[in-house]
Structure 1
Amino acid sequence: MTRTKKSAASSKRINPEKRQQPAAAQGSSAAGPIDAASLIDKSHTLLAQSNFELAIKFLDRALELEPSNIEARELVGIAELEAGDEERGREHLLQLFPPHAAEPPSHPSPYLYLAQSASEPQEALGYYSTATAMLEKRIAEKDRKGKGKQQGAEGEDEEVDEDVQMAVTALVAMIEIWMSDLCFEEAAEKNCDSLIQRALSISPNDPEVKLSLASIRMSQSRFEDAKQVVISLYNDLEGREPFDPILPALPVRLALSRLLLEHSLHLEALDILSTVREEDSLNIEGAYLEGWALYLRAEAIKENPSLLTSTITKAEDGEDDEPMSVEECLSESMRSLVECAKLYEDQEYEDEGIGSHVAELLEELTKNGVVPAIHDEEDEDGDVEMA
Structure 2
Amino acid sequence: MARTKKATRRGGVPSKAAPASQPSSGSVDPASLLEKAHILLGQSNFELAIKFLDRVLELEPTNLEARELAGVAELEGGDDEQGRAHLLQLLPPHVPEPPSHPSPYLYLAQTAQDPQEALGYYSTATAMLEQRIAVKDRKGKGKQQGDAADAGLELEEEDEEVRMAVTALVAMIEIWMSDLCFEESAEKNCDSLISRALSISPRDPEVRLALASIRMSQSRFEEAKAVVVSLYEDMEGREPFDPILPALPARLSLSRLLLEHHLHLEALDILSTIREEDSLNVEGAYLEGWALYLRAEYLRENPAAAVQANPTVKKQLEGKEQAAAQEDQEEETPMTPEECLSEAMRSLMECAKLYADQDYIDEGIGGHVAELLEELTKMGVEPAVPEEEDEDEDGDVAMA
Q: Settle same-fold status: TM greater than 0.5.
A: yes
- Give the 5 Å matches for 1:190-209: 190-209=188-207
- Give the 5 Å matches for 1:308-319: 308-312=306-310, 313=313, 317-319=324-326
Q: Which of 251, 255, 264 is 2:249 aligned to?
A: 251
Offset at 1:383?
3.3
Partner residue in 1 for 2:20? none
Gaps of at least 5 residues in structure 1 are 1-5, 22-29
Offset at 1:237?
0.7
**Preserved CA contact (<8 Å) 1:376 1:384:** no
Alpha-carbon distance between aligned partners in 1 of 2:155 and 2:141, rounded to the nearest angstrom: 14
Which of 1 and 2 has higher RCO (CA within 8 Å, sep 6+)?
1
Q: C-alpha offsets along residues 231-277 of structure 1, whole Å, 9 cap, x if unaligned?
A: 11111111111000011110110010000000000000000000000
User: Aligned AA for 1:13?
Assistant: K
Partner residue in 2 for 1:133? 127
Partner residue in 1 for 2:137? 143
User: Aligned AA for 1:47?
Assistant: L
- Give the 5 Å matches for 1:288-327: 288-312=286-310, 313=313, 317-319=324-326, 320=329, 321-327=332-338
Partner residue in 2 for 1:329? 340
Alpha-carbon distance between aligned partners in 1 of 2:142 and 2:242, rounded to the nearest angstrom: 32
Q: C-alpha offsets along residues 218-242 of structure 1, whole Å, 9 cap, x if unaligned?
A: 1111111111111111111111110
Alpha-carbon distance between aligned partners in 2 of 1:254 and 1:371, rounded to the nearest angstrom: 27
TM-score with structure 2 setting the length: 0.88
In the alignment, is residue 38 of structure 1 matched against residue 52 of structure 2? no
Partner residue in 2 for 1:120? 114
Give the secondary structure class of the aligned counterpart of 2:377.
Answer: helix
In the alignment, is residue 11 of structure 1 matched against residue 9 of structure 2? no
Q: C-alpha offsets along residues 88-120 of structure 1, whole Å, 9 cap, x if unaligned?
A: 111110111111111000000000000111111
Give the secondary structure class of the aligned counterpart of 2:6.
Answer: coil
Alpha-carbon distance between aligned partners in 1 of 2:396 and 2:106, rounded to the nearest angstrom: 49
Partner residue in 1 for 2:72? 78
Partner residue in 2 for 1:215? 213
Partner residue in 1 for 2:170? 172
Offset at 1:293?
0.2
Q: C-alpha offsets along residues 337-363 of structure 1, whole Å, 9 cap, x if unaligned?
A: 111111111111111111111111111
**Preserved CA contact (<8 Å) 2:13 2:39:** no
Partner residue in 1 for 2:100? 106
Alpha-carbon distance between aligned partners in 2 of 1:378 and 1:197, rounded to the nearest angstrom: 53
**Preserved CA contact (<8 Å) 1:46 1:54:** yes
Offset at 1:19?
5.8
Give the secondary structure class of the aligned counterpart of 1:306.
Answer: helix
Offset at 1:65?
1.4
Give the secondary structure class of the aligned counterpart of 2:303.
Answer: coil
Offset at 1:306?
1.5
Q: How many residues align?
A: 370
**Preserved CA contact (<8 Å) 2:13 2:38:** no
Q: C-alpha offsets along residues 191-215 of structure 1, whole Å, 9 cap, x if unaligned?
A: 0000000000000000000000001
**Preserved CA contact (<8 Å) 2:343 2:384:** yes
Offset at 1:376?
1.9
TM-score with structure 1 setting the length: 0.91
**Preserved CA contact (<8 Å) 2:4 2:168:** no
Offset at 1:305?
1.1
| CA distance 1:34–1:353, change in 2 (3 Å) | same
| CA distance 1:384–1:343, change in 2 (3 Å) | farther
| CA distance 1:116–1:383, change in 2 (3 Å) | same
Q: CA RMSD in A?
A: 2.2
**Preserved CA contact (<8 Å) 2:57 2:67:** yes
Alpha-carbon distance between aligned partners in 2 of 1:378 and 1:166, rounded to the nearest angstrom: 47
**Preserved CA contact (<8 Å) 1:35 1:65:** no
User: Aligned AA for 2:397?
Assistant: D
Gaps of at least 5 residues in structure 2 are 15-22
Partner residue in 1 for 2:19? none
**Preserved CA contact (<8 Å) 1:243 1:275:** yes
Alpha-carbon distance between aligned partners in 2 of 1:176 and 1:36, rounded to the nearest angstrom: 40
Q: C-alpha offsets along residues 18-73 of structure 1, whole Å, 9 cap, x if unaligned?
A: 1699xxxxxxxx99963111111111121122211111111111111111110000
| CA distance 1:103–1:148, change in 2 (3 Å) | closer
User: Aligned AA for 1:258?
Assistant: R
Give percent identity, aligned residues only.
73
Q: Which of 85, 89, 96 is 2:90 aligned to?
A: 96
User: Aligned AA for 2:384?
Assistant: A
Q: Which of 319, 334, 342 is 2:353 aligned to?
A: 342
Give the secondary structure class of the aligned counterpart of 2:36.
Answer: helix
Q: Which of 78, 81, 89 is 1:87 aligned to?
A: 81
Offset at 1:318?
2.2
| CA distance 1:139–1:269, change in 2 (3 Å) | same
Alpha-carbon distance between aligned partners in 2 of 1:16 and 1:149, rounded to the nearest angstrom: 26
